[in-house]
Amino acid sequence: MIDYNHFRKSFYTMKINILLCDTFPGLLPPDIPSYSSMFQRLFNSVESSIQYEVFDVQHNIYPETLNDKELYLIPGSTASAYDNVPWINRLKEFIQILHHKKMKTVGVCFGHQIIAQALGGKVVRALQGWGIGIRSSIIVAPKAEKYFPQKEMRLHYNHHDQVIELPPHATRFATSDFCINEGFFIEDHILTFQGHPEYTHEYNEYILLHHASDEPEEVKTKALRSLANKADNLAVVGFILDIIK
């Protein structure tokens, strides 16, 4: 069992910069004020004094300066990392700068994919189709076993693209039969997850029931059943916060 209480002493001045890649208009239930608030709720469950700043990179709003004591979080999006559009191309350039300067950077779903794509990996539309619901992956890197001692990671998912080739110097830490690269890290400054640690069971159910019309019924039914499992969201928080010690 991980003791999360030590974060209260170590991270009381921590700041997370959320590089917002989508506002998901029409896809959030009334009780969720914004997509970025889902991450604030997640991290606040461990440390309520974390500071946040949101940058709408879809509209070219970026941090003016970089700080190696802060975290740069790239979350989900309905876009694809391989889309040739100006805001995505600029985000890739910014990711390359973050990597070059070894800024602490975390990617979630689309963030995981665009970090891989920006640094020399490859992202494609998956032949397996949509990955939705809760899925289990196997931990394959000793570094990650501290956070997932059962050597298994369960997370919420909602994606159609996948990273099929990792960038140079990246280490895969989790894999599954459905998705070969469930997460990776580069040295001690980049960490990514294909899954959504910010999702709750209620939100995933809401998406499946109200906003999954393009997914086959049998896939949705299986995904809804999978929500009976517990997601390892807090273990992911521990993994993320540890990279900015």
CA-CA-CA-CA dihedral for 197, 202, 203, 207, to nearest 10:
130
Which residue intervals of 101-210 are DSSP H helices? 110-118, 142-145, 201-210
**CATH topology for the 4-242 domain:** Rossmann fold (3.40.50)
Token pair for residue 146? 């501290």
Q: Residue 58 gets which letter from DSSP?
A: G
All structural domains of the chain with their residue ranges: 4-242
* Planar angle of CA 160, 115, 38, nearest 5 degrees: 70
Closest CA relative to residue 184, chosen from 168, 172, 167, 166: 172
Long-range contacts of 57-63 (CB under 8 A, 24+ apart): 57/19, 57/20, 57/21, 57/87, 57/90, 57/91, 57/94, 58/20, 58/21, 58/22, 58/23, 58/87, 59/87, 60/87, 60/90, 62/19, 62/94, 63/17
Residues with active-site annotation: 109, 196, 198
pLDDT by residue for the chain (245 residues), tens digit each? 455 454 444 444 799 999 999 999 988 999 999 999 999 999 999 988 899 999 999 999 999 999 999 999 999 999 999 999 999 999 999 999 999 999 999 999 999 999 999 999 999 999 999 999 999 999 999 999 999 999 999 999 999 999 999 999 999 999 999 999 999 999 999 999 999 999 999 999 999 998 877 778 888 999 999 999 999 999 999 999 998 77
